[in-house]
Amino acid sequence: MGVIFKISSCKPTIELASRLLGQHLVHETKEGISVGRIVETEAYLSDDPACHASRGMTKRNQVMFGPPGYAYVYFVYGMYYCFNVVTAPEGVGEAVLIRALEPLEGIDLMFKRRPKIKRVEDLCNGPAKLVLAMGITKEHNGISLNQTPLFLEKNHLRKKEIVTTSRIGISEGIHFPYRFYLKDNRFISRK
């Protein structure tokens, strides 16, 4: 097993969003291990209207206000969940949404968790898709990402360029350049 990628360094959320690119997300379950390389992220800042935490702490977003390095998993559109990494110091509600992964290990298990999917490219190329493929559930909301069973593993990013654009699927703060992805990577979400 590799070195854990810890978020405790307290770097700005924007910087962490790009630094998370290339890191591996690992989930160990009784069914087996699943690993995906992070290829697309989005930053959500405390003063940003699109951020769940921008209007203060609520029952749903409270883990965003906790210490960095924890998982914020929320329910959306009546049927999906999205996975975030809490990035700011305690008291500041910020996080990075993981939008896409390149499947690396446990690919058979990912297909098993997503029976209708035919192509590897479609397994984790969207925030709700990777949650399903990795076996992440609402029970993971609030857990530490610095330890098993769900954690980030350090990995060197190759020469691939990081592309910065505006975020997807929001109605406010649409112009902010808070979306990051690996150029030419075939596992990123639409657009």
Partner DNA sequence: CTCTGGATTGAC
Partner DNA sequence: TCAATCCAGAGG
User: Interface with DNA includes 51 (CB under 7 A)?
Assistant: yes
Q: Is 93 left (phi over 0), alpha (psi -120 to 50) or beta?
A: beta
Find the part of the chain contacting DNA (CB under 7 A) among 8-16, 26-34, 54-62, 150-158: 54-62
Q: Which two structure tokens, joined as six digits, stand for 181?
A: 């992805």
Check if the beta carbon of residue 91 is closer than 8 Å to that of residue 12: no
Q: Minimum CB separation from DNA for residue 72, in Å?
A: 7
What is the footprint of DNA within residues 124-153 (CB under 7 A)?
126-129
What whole-number distance in Å separates Cα of residue 123 and Cα of residue 110? 7
Binding letters toward DNA, positions 76-115, x by CB under 7 A: xxxxx-x-x----------x-x----------------x-
Question: Considering CB under 7 A, how many residues would be counted as binding DNA?
Answer: 38
- Token pair 């993971």: residue: 140
Residues facing residue 180 across a β-bridge: 41, 164
- Per the CB < 8 A criterion, the answer to whether 139 and 158 are in contact is no
* Binding region for DNA (CB under 7 A): 42, 44, 50-53, 55-56, 58-61, 64, 72, 75-80, 82, 84, 95, 97, 114, 116-117, 122, 126-129, 167-171, 189
